[in-house]
Amino acid sequence: MNFAVLQFPASNCDQDAIHAIRVLGHHARYVWHKESALGDARAVIVPGGFSYGDYLRCGAIARFSPVMAAVQQFAANGGLVLGICNGFQILCEAGLLPGALVRNRSLQFRCEHVYLKVAAHDSPFTSRIPEGKVLRIPVAHGEGCYFADDDLLNQLETRKQILWQYCNARGELTEPANPNGSLRNIAGICNERRNVAGLMPHPERACEPLLGSADGRFIFESMIHALEKPTSARAA
């Protein structure tokens, strides 16, 4: 299985993403932001970091990179795209995901492990996560507060586009468990078609017990499982 991992100036989690895919026994390669094609990639990861130094808004410059036109077309053709942290911000700026990521309510950069509740298991990014499993995955961001108006939030809930929510160790959605003030404790969402997803926590930093948690593997294993299905089954 071939994954494309995008590289922008100041990306800093691209190597982690490559390592995570290889730990799972699959192939991954870097795709520089000036490239106009994704090659034979079966899935795309838009990694974390500080693309273009996070000038203007996080992800606001990266959305104009040549490679993003290829990502737009790839997603339009049904390809799986996962944005992590800054990658989530880029996907929102590019219009591939709804809503926006704004400054943490605390106005502080948060770097810690958090707990995630899976809000929807029927997606290519969550299907292999055991029912009731609370994930322990790190965050590291200053602008991770998910924001949208009430109409969009209600739509996301109705269409089960909210995939992950911040919770405590018991899986309860509480305010203290929310590291950035995201509305409705949203940690990650998908598009209506369910082939593009983004989350602020870093699953690539939680793929081996040596790192303190291997819970991030479930997300990548879900993607791999979806890609291994026949095309007709994935479209169903």
Closest CA to 125 of 53, 66, 59, 193: 193
Q: Interhelix angle for 217-228 vs 14-23, to 10°?
A: 60
Q: Rounded mean pLDDT of the chain?
A: 95
pLDDT-derived band at 236, boundaries 50, 70, 90: very low
CA distance 130 to 231: 24
Digit-coded pLDDT (tens) for 201-211: 999 999 999 99
Digit-coded pLDDT (tens) for 160-178: 999 999 999 999 999 999 9
Digit-coded pLDDT (tens) for 13-37: 999 999 999 999 999 999 999 999 9
pLDDT at 234 over 70: no
Q: Quick one: pLDDT at residue 200?
A: 98
The 3-state DSSP composition of the chain as helix, strand, coil percent (nearest 5) reads: 30, 25, 45
List the strands of the sheet with 162-167, edge to edge: 27-32, 2-7, 43-46, 80-84, 196-199, 186-190, 162-167, 110-118, 134-141
Cβ atoms of 161 and 191 closer than 8 Å: yes
Q: Quick one: pLDDT at residue 231?
A: 55
Q: Quick one: pLDDT at residue 82?
A: 98
Q: Looking at the annotation, which residues are catalytic?
A: 85, 202, 204
